Amino acid sequence: MAVGQTRTERDWRMRLQDWLPKLVLSPSVAMTLLFVYGFIIFTIYLSFTGSKMLPSYDWVGFDNYRRLFGLSAWTTALINLAIFASLYVTICIAIGLSLAIFLDQKIRGEGMLRPIYLYPMALSFIVTGTAWKWLLDPGIGIEHTMHLWGWETFRFDWIKNRDYAIYTLVLAAVWQSSGFVMAMFLAGLRGIDNEILKAAQIDGASNWNLYRRIVIPLLRPAFLSAFVILAHLAIKSYDLVIALTGGGPGRATELPATFMYSYTFTRNQMAVGASSAVIMLMGIAAIMVPYIYAELKEKN
């Protein structure tokens, strides 16, 4: 009798132990399913309706997407994103890699330099935007300073210039993230077995060839991570544009993220805004899904 009792008790406890983990995990899973995936489905649904200021539920098919790609503002945002993203990713990787390789040469004061390269990553894009907005302002910033220092013909008014404003966005964004890319490459470099390098040197490889032929190919995983992180940050860029240029002058620095916000919340074209958000999500998914899939599979 007593044995039977403890058995059911143990049985009950076992079952509880079996359920408890799932129970504890369930709020997070429910939140993710509802607030992330449920909301994604809802936004996709909205993008097929005629919603204006408030959501409405009349089905209009692909009309919004047709309208979206007919809008010159959207085309401009996509072109701006293409310019911004390609320059941002390339320059960040170039600067990050160079800094990492140079820092890896037993540099005196490395411990002092590294935090200087990295601190912008701790700042909000709004702070970065504010600092660069006034630095780049021709009236008080770098141009003005150069004039005071005697270089009267110096001109640096990109931020006010429709053709060049997008490059100021690149400048500020590179300032913020390139140090982070440096840290990623530095971690990669420190992980390379020194014996390989020594062997190559004994074989008479020059430094240039050593890096080009051996080190940089070994950094492939770091390149991939840097690309994925930077590309997805570029697509999500919003705060920096708002703080630095507000999307202007004209539409010169409008990006999909700012387009989505203004169409949804200030122009009352919710369905068009929703479809632009869906396009952004597709861009991110194209980059992140294969990456996450590969990372999770690798772990098995």
Find the binding residues for other proteins in span 101-120 (CB under 8 A): 102-107, 113, 115-120
Minimum distance, C-beta of residue 73 to other proteins, in the bound complex (Å): 15
Residues 264-283 that bind other proteins (CB under 8 A): 264-265, 270, 273-274, 276-278, 280-281
- For residue 145, what are its two tokens? 């300073």
CA dist 127 to 118, 171, 173, 234, 268, Å? 15, 14, 12, 18, 29
Residues 139-178 that bind other proteins (CB under 8 A): 140-142, 144-145, 148-149, 175
Query: d(Cα 72, Cα 78) in Å, to the nearest integer?
Result: 10
Query: d(Cα 159, Cα 256) in Å, to the nearest integer?
Result: 19
Query: d(Cα 160, Cα 79) in Å, to the nearest integer?
Result: 19
Angle between helical axes of 125-135 and 165-190 (0-180°, round to 10): 130
Q: Is 12 in the site for other proteins (CB under 8 A)?
A: no
Count of chain residues binding other proteins (CB under 8 A): 111
Q: Is 97 in the site for other proteins (CB under 8 A)?
A: no
Of 60, 71, 83, 131, the one binding other proteins (CB under 8 A) is 131
Q: Is 290 in the site for other proteins (CB under 8 A)?
A: no
Q: Is 55 in the site for other proteins (CB under 8 A)?
A: yes
Minimum distance, C-beta of residue 164 to other proteins, in the bound complex (Å): 19
DSSP one-letter string for 56-108: ---B-TTHHHHHHHH-HHHHHHHHHHHHHHHHHHHHHHHHHHHHHHHHTTT-T
Of 7, 11, 29, 213, the one binding other proteins (CB under 8 A) is 29
- Residue 64 contacts residue 47 (beta carbons within 8 Å): yes
Residues 230-269 that bind other proteins (CB under 8 A): 232, 235-236, 238-239, 242-243, 246, 256-257, 260-261, 264-265
Residue span binding other proteins (CB under 8 A) among the ranges 1-9, 77-85, 150-158, 220-228: 220-228
**Closer residue to other proteins, CB minimum distance, 46 or 68:** 46
Angle between helical axes of 220-236 and 72-103 (0-180°, round to 10): 150
- For residue 118, what are its two tokens? 């990295």
Q: Is 79 in the site for other proteins (CB under 8 A)?
A: no
Q: Is 82 in the site for other proteins (CB under 8 A)?
A: no
Minimum distance, C-beta of residue 276 to other proteins, in the bound complex (Å): 8
The amino acid occupying position 274 is A
Minimum distance, C-beta of residue 102 to other proteins, in the bound complex (Å): 5
Task: Give, as one character, the DSSP assignment of residue 37.
Answer: I
- For residue 21, what are its two tokens? 């983990």
Minimum distance, C-beta of residue 61 to other proteins, in the bound complex (Å): 19
Burial 197-217 (b: 16+ CB within 10 A, else e): beebeeeebeeeebbeeebbe
Q: Is 15 in the site for other proteins (CB under 8 A)?
A: no
Q: Is 88 in the site for other proteins (CB under 8 A)?
A: no
Which x/- pattern, by CB under 8 A, does the window 190-219 give for other proteins? x---x--xx--x-----x--x---------
Minimum distance, C-beta of residue 42 to other proteins, in the bound complex (Å): 4
Query: d(Cα 46, Cα 52) in Å, to the nearest integer?
Result: 10
